Structure formats: C-alpha cells, structure tokens
A and B are shown apart, each in its own frame.
Chain A
Amino acid sequence: MTENITAQPKHTSLHGEHEKLGASFTDFGGWDMPLKYGSELAEHRAVRETAGLFDLSHMGEVWVSGDDAAAFLNTALVGNFAVTAVGKAKYSLIVNAEGGIVDDLIVYRIAETRYLVVPNAGNAPTVARLLTERAEGFAVEVTDASADTALIAVQGPNSEAIVRAVVATDDERAAVAGLAYYAWTAVTVAGIDVLLARTGYTGEDGFELYIPADRAPELWQLLLTAGESHGLTPCGLASRDSLRLEAGMPLYGNELNVDTTPFEANLGGVVSFKKTENFVGRAALEAAKEAGSRRVLVGLKGLGRRAGRGGYAVFTPLSEVTDEAPREIGVITSGQPSPTLGHPIALAKLDVSFAEPGTTVEVDLRGKREPFEVVALPFYKRGA
C-alpha cells in the first residue's frame, strides 16, 4: 500500500465550487475536502433545523453485476443480499478472515443481478480490490466507478422539499415524497440521470444523489438555488462529523478498524449467520460471537463542560466504598461537545462490565479526570 504516499491530494469535481464558496479544506483519506465554509456550528444547526448540502464525491462506488451477484456478495460481505429487495439499500461490513472490519459500506440493490457498493473514501481502492479477488469463480463483474461518480447529499428536515423542487415531473415529485428510508429511485434533474437514495449519515431525513462526476457542478448549483428559500447551507466535513457522532454512527478509523469485530462495534446485527454461504470471516465471527466481547462500544455523556476526545483513556471512578485504585477500563474513539445537546458526548470502547447505561466512569482530560455517564445510543434522535 504505497500508492498514496507521494500522491498529490485528490480533488472532487466540485472542488471549484467549494473554492468559490470560500471553503477551508482538510485532508481526508488522501482527498482535499471542505472542512467548513463558514462556521461549522452554523452548518451543523442548518442540518438539524433546515437543510445542509454535502459533497461526498470522495466516497467510492463499486458496481457488482452478473447472474451470481447476490451469491457473490453473500460470500464477500457479512450481510444477506439475496433478501434485499430491488430498490432497497442495506448497511453492511466487509471483514477479513479474522473477522476484523475492513470497511463499513452501503449496498444498493439496483436490479435482480446488479448492486452498487459504496465504501468509504480512503478504503475504496482496498474494497474494490478485495471484491475483485473474492469474485473469482463467480459469474460477476466488479467495476470500480469511483473516479467517474460524484455524490451529493442533501440532509435535514427541508431536504424533501428541496429535492422535489429540482426533479422534472409530477411522477418524480411523487416518487421523491414516497421514497422510504434506505430505498432508492431513478430520477432526472435538468437532464442529469440521478440515482436518488433516501440515505445519509447525519441522523436526519435526507437524500444522497449519485451522478456522473462531470455533471456534479451543475447539479450542485441547481440544488443551491432551489434550496435558497429552504435554508440550504453548504456543509463541510467538520459538521458531518459532529452530526454523525450525535446520531451515534460509527466512523471508519475511529470506531471501526481491522482490529475490531462487528460485535465489539455493536454491529453484530448486520452479520447474517443464517445465510447458507460460507462468507469470508464466518468461522472467526462465529467463534467471536460465542466467546463474547471483552469491550463494547458505548455512548458517554460528559457531566462537566470539557469534552473527551479520541484516544483519551477511561477509568473507573474513585470508590469511597472499596477504596480501590482507579483502573483503565477503556478508551474514547470519538468525542466532542454536542452542538444540539449542549453537553460533551463521546463514543468509547469500554469493558463490558461498565457498559450499562447509568454507569459513571471517569475520563482523563489531559491529566485531570472528570465524570462521564454511560448513556444509550443514539445521543440525538430526530423527532424525539
């Protein structure tokens, strides 16, 4: 894996649009992406209260087509895709033979024998390579279309009104309104073919629009114009991260990595042991499930004003009863002040015996320990 070390940062086809909007940029998995356009807190609030516009073109798009597509995905990934209806999407994982998570991804069933697999930006080349390797012996074709595909997300309570405003016909407007969560439909926007999905990573209602990369600036402009009266705000990766954390969603590289099994990441439910295929990692995951996890992912709520950050150690509280010295029981994987809730939140990997909501633990905030409470996930739930 040396191909990216000397490479220039990659730009999406929307880079010029971001520059025009005055974005500040950050490196993300080898991509030069907008961190924020103005205030990341204002962008965060826009998604919770009106709508936000995201460039996610750095994400990967890998097509899997052929008579064996369903059977192949059932051996390559942990989910059961034979039971996914055409028009639906499923959150899934690709693991290695040891059951470690290589990436989390979304799989859309486009047709009976055709799927779209969407891995994370930095992992896209690895996922495309693994799928190609694992396809040997199956009647499928694996095509990495990441370079030619752009992805724009509209997220927030006003997202449906904005997307309805840009599609071409009454039928399409009805289709947008009727689209279920984790489902997709094909629409046309100003002659641009759009694979429109009701998916996202913010905890809000929202849409993701897959389009040819060369048409992305045009669609971006159309959405910005249509969204003006709906409070649509361009949003960078800073607000995307605070939104996904409030929604309790894991991020690859923080909560998920090859040293973590789905069970340790609270994602045991996406592993299908019922399917007949002997998928990569099956034996290891069966053993891991049987053995149980020593540590699991939990939500923490800060009881003070200071936030815990990724890498900070978690300790048992000092006990007046047992007089026992505090010991390390876990580590924060992501943490920051929650803009919506007004207190610090964090995801942490904690010893199972401390994972019960209501448990008080202490986080080492750069030399000073402060109390945090284990809480149920997600931290923020739309409409709750």
Chain B
Amino acid sequence: MSQVHAGFRYSEEHEWIDEQSPATVGVSQVAADALGDVVYIELPEVGKQLTAGEVCGEIESTKSVSDLYSPVTGEVVEINDAVVADPALVNSDPYGAAWLFRVAVTAEGPLLSAEEYAAANDATVA
C-alpha cells in the first residue's frame, strides 16, 4: 500500500507541498506507484508564473504520460535538476530526493491534509 507523508498537504492531482516558504512541490507515492517506473520529467522553468490547478509539466513512465499540475499559484524559484537527470528518484524517494520545484506562493489551490488524501486514495499516513 502506498505511503502518504505526514505533515505535507496534497492536491487531488497527487502533488504534495510542504509548509516552508518558498514551498517545495513533489508528487505522491500514490502517483509514483500508479505511474510505474518514471523515465522522463519536464518541469517549469525558474521564473515561470504558475497558476493553481493548471498544467505546469509532465511525467512520463514506461507505460504512460501524465500531466503535472501546480497545486499553488506563484513564481518558480528553483527546480530540482537531480530529478530531471534521474527521474527514477520519483519511484525510490518521492517525498525526499525527488522533490520537483520550489514556489514563492501567492495563493493556494484546494489542498487536502495527509489524512484526507490517504483516505481518498486507499493509502496509509506514515
């Protein structure tokens, strides 16, 4: 069963966001498990203005392609080059080394608590 990281909040599209400022965004293990082995990631560029709920990149696995949605509105201040170079990090460490980008948040989209997200996705909070 997929794990949901306690303390983060989650979008319905399976992105997580931490409570720091600027905020760090990644994808959940629920998403990583559903995607299968991730082989390619396209991230928004530093300086790009994101809008909560809109597509900001894509994640490609051996079997499919998925859109990446921004859980928040704001400017991208940093991207994780390591995960672009080694997309398999999304499978091995979705809540840590596989963080995707950092945003100076001006507004949030609808976000779920770890418990709410876990309940909606048949996962456990750890």
Contacts from A to B (Cβ < 8 Å)? 36, 39-41, 44, 238, 241-242, 305-307, 309, 336-337, 339, 366
B62 interface residue, CB < 8 Å from A? yes
Answer whether A337 and B62 are a contact pair too, CB < 8 Å, given A36-B36, A40-B36, A305-B40. yes
B65 close to A337 (CB less than 8 A): no
23 A-B pairs within 8 Å (CB atoms) are namely A39-B36, A39-B91, A40-B37, A40-B62, A40-B63, A41-B37, A41-B39, A41-B88, A44-B62, A238-B63, A242-B62, A305-B40, A306-B40, A307-B40, A307-B65, A309-B64, A309-B65, A336-B62, A337-B40, A337-B60, A337-B62, A339-B62, A366-B65
Residues in B neighbouring A339, C-beta threshold 8 A: 62
A41 close to B62 (CB less than 8 A): yes
Answer whether A307 and B60 are a contact pair too, CB < 8 Å, given A39-B91, A366-B65. yes
Q: Closest chain A residue to B33 by CB distance?
A: A24
Chain B, range 63-89, C-beta contacts under 8 Å to A: 63-65, 88
Total B residues in contact with A, Cβ cutoff 8 Å = 13
Q: Closest chain B residue to A304 by CB distance?
A: B40
Kindly state the separation between the CA atoms of A280 and B60 in the bound complex, as whole angstroms. Answer: 43
Answer whether A39 and B37 are a contact pair too, CB < 8 Å, given A238-B62, A336-B62. yes
The 5 A-B residue pairs with the shortest CB-CB distance, nearest first, are A41-B37, A337-B39, A305-B40, A40-B36, A336-B62
Residues in A neighbouring B91, C-beta threshold 8 A: 39
Residues in B neighbouring A337, C-beta threshold 8 A: 39-40, 60, 62
Q: Smallest CB–CB gap between B124 and chain A, Å?
A: 16
Q: Closest chain B residue to A42 by CB distance?
A: B37
Kindly state the separation between the CA atoms of A173 and B39 in the bound complex, as whole angstroms. Answer: 41
Q: Smallest CB–CB gap between B121 and chain A, Å?
A: 15
Chain B, range 28-65, C-beta contacts under 8 Å to A: 36-37, 39-40, 42, 58, 60, 62-65
Residues in B neighbouring A44, C-beta threshold 8 A: 62
Residues in A neighbouring B39, C-beta threshold 8 A: 41, 337
Residues in B neighbouring A309, C-beta threshold 8 A: 64-65
Extra contacts besides A307-B60, A337-B60, A366-B65 (8): CB < 8 Å: A39-B37, A40-B62, A41-B88, A238-B36, A306-B60, A306-B65, A336-B62, A337-B39
Residues in A neighbouring B42, C-beta threshold 8 A: 306
Residues in A neighbouring B37, C-beta threshold 8 A: 39-41
Q: Closest chain B residue to A242 by CB distance?
A: B62
Residues in B neighbouring A242, C-beta threshold 8 A: 62
Q: Smallest CB–CB gap between A245 and chain B, Å?
A: 10
Residues in B neighbouring A40, C-beta threshold 8 A: 36-37, 62-63
Kindly state the separation between the CA atoms of A337 and B63 in the bound complex, as whole angstroms. Answer: 8
Q: Closest chain B residue to A366 by CB distance?
A: B65
Q: Closest chain A residue to B42 by CB distance?
A: A306
Kindly state the separation between the CA atoms of A44 and B61 in the bound complex, as whole angstroms. Answer: 14
Kindly state the separation between the CA atoms of A44 and B36 in the bound complex, as whole angstroms. Answer: 13
Q: Smallest CB–CB gap between A361 and chain B, Å?
A: 19
Q: Smallest CB–CB gap between B109 and chain A, Å?
A: 22
Residues in B neighbouring A366, C-beta threshold 8 A: 58, 65
Q: Smallest CB–CB gap between A327 and chain B, Å?
A: 25
Residues in A neighbouring B62, C-beta threshold 8 A: 40-41, 44, 238, 242, 336-337, 339
Kindly state the separation between the CA atoms of A307 and B40 in the bound complex, as whole angstroms. Answer: 9
Q: Smallest CB–CB gap between B45 and chain A, Å?
A: 15
Kindly state the separation between the CA atoms of A323 and B36 in the bound complex, as whole angstroms. Answer: 42
Query: B101-126 toward A: CB 8 Å interface, digit per residue (1/0)?
Result: 00000000000000000000000000
Kindly state the separation between the CA atoms of A40 and B36 in the bound complex, as whole angstroms. Answer: 7
Q: Closest chain A residue to B84 by CB distance?
A: A305
Q: Closest chain B residue to A239 by CB distance?
A: B62
Residues in A neighbouring B60, C-beta threshold 8 A: 306-307, 337
Residues in A neighbouring B88, C-beta threshold 8 A: 41
Residues in B neighbouring A39, C-beta threshold 8 A: 36-37, 91
Q: Smallest CB–CB gap between B4 and chain A, Å?
A: 18
Kindly state the separation between the CA atoms of A36 and B63 in the bound complex, as whole angstroms. Answer: 12
Residues in A neighbouring B64, C-beta threshold 8 A: 309
Residues in B neighbouring A238, C-beta threshold 8 A: 36, 62-63
Kindly state the separation between the CA atoms of A309 and B63 in the bound complex, as whole angstroms. Answer: 9
